[in-house]
Structure 1
Amino acid sequence: MPTKKPSLVKNSPPKASHLGGLWHHAYFIESSPEIALPALLKKLEAELNQPTRGHPDIFLHRSTVFSIEDSRQVKAESSGRPIVGESKFIILAAEFFASEAQHALLKTLEDASPNTHYFLITPQTEKLLPTLRSRLEKIELKSEKSDFKGSPKSDFGGQSVAGGFLALSLPERLAFVGKLIERHKDDEDSGLLKKEASELLNSLEIILHKNLHNTSRDARDVCARGLEEIIRARDYLSDRGAMTKMILENLALTL
């Protein structure tokens, strides 16, 4: 069965022929960029009535970690005026937003033109600074359900893979983590390893949240403890120089 693509709902900007002044200044979407970006671009295409690819008034930045250097680039982009329309759209999608980069981004939001609209996409909105988040309006996805299929190599973060991970024995879980680390032995510092680990945490979290509705009290307690471990693992994973292998191995032991 094909995966149902999510769409944007609730607090989405109203349709209008002239977007300037009718849209909120800045938004955030709590989701993995792989899920949210297509939905957001589809929404923008409908609002602008033209393709978003190559659009001169749309700036898209995608990275694993949004850094202070990235925030400087966003500041430079924000200073320009729209080219073909009345509004400019800056889309920032990342697994993590570094603290110093958030402070710089906050200043950029404060100084930006009212016709410049920002969209932050990240699965870890709890890591956003309260001062930054307070300036952002939330956009929700109608559905983030996914039926990823395939090998761990192609769909490591899919919910079917995450469910399989939970069903493995401890030695099998550790072997699973070992294969992931081995696959990234030549690019461990590129951010790809951390990205896959983050996708696994997100999928595990979705599964455990669903299982919280289990009628068994013991099962609910197990899920609650598992969610605490995932939150802790995500905190460690967001640190610079995080030991991804150690974090995933500890998760394999505690879930």
Structure 2
Amino acid sequence: MRALVGVVGLMVGVLTACGGAASTGAAAPGHSRGETSMAPAATSQAPVPEATTSAPLPTGPNVSGCFTEADGKIFKHDGDLPGVITGDGPVGVVITYERRGNVCTWRPLSDRLVAVGYRVLLYARRSTTLPEDAAVAMGKRLAKESGVKRIFLVGGSIGATTAVPAALRLGPKAAGVVAVSGEISAENAARLTVPLLQIGSENDGYGGADDLAEAHAAATKAPDNQTMVIPGESLHASALFGSPHGKDVLDRIVAFMDRHKG
């Protein structure tokens, strides 16, 4: 009797953190207009996290399970989509995440900004809503909050690409743009009259070094025009925050905003 050989298919379950499937050297504040910098390559490896028990998802008002009323004011927009305003500073920040992303992977930036005195708005959006329109609507909403005087627009990937035209539409309230892994068109960059900080990985297929250089060269009217390129990497948008380069990226964003918050 010939022996039968059984073929067993192994299925591997891939567990992702909240927002983990998103499509997705710190600089001193004194950078001059037109400066481009290449961040130093990290030599250390990211630590392997210890196994932990997942916290239960909140049952009350929240945004993607990452922000609750303990973090700030939860609001609804565009029908029934949630958003949150956290912090209470006079300078606001609107964060628009990357396609297929969510607010969760932007929490490192939000927490850092709130800790140094900014008021941050994060929001969920429909895939059918243009990020530019959403960012403008959120900017106008944040501008109505008591005490908010100026607003930075921050975006990742498509959120970064559309942050510049959104800032143009927001008008005098716009304090500046931080574009992480964006592809800002030369036409939009040339129209920008507020400070611009671009951050991206050298080898990223969207918002890589060449894309950032093109927008940098075109943004001749921006009073400050900075670019930070992470050499040898292809990390995209909010993936930078959890990488060995995360601290340098966050430091650079805070330094840029502190310089231009007015």
TM-score, length basis structure 2 = 0.30
Higher helix share: 1
Higher strand share: 2
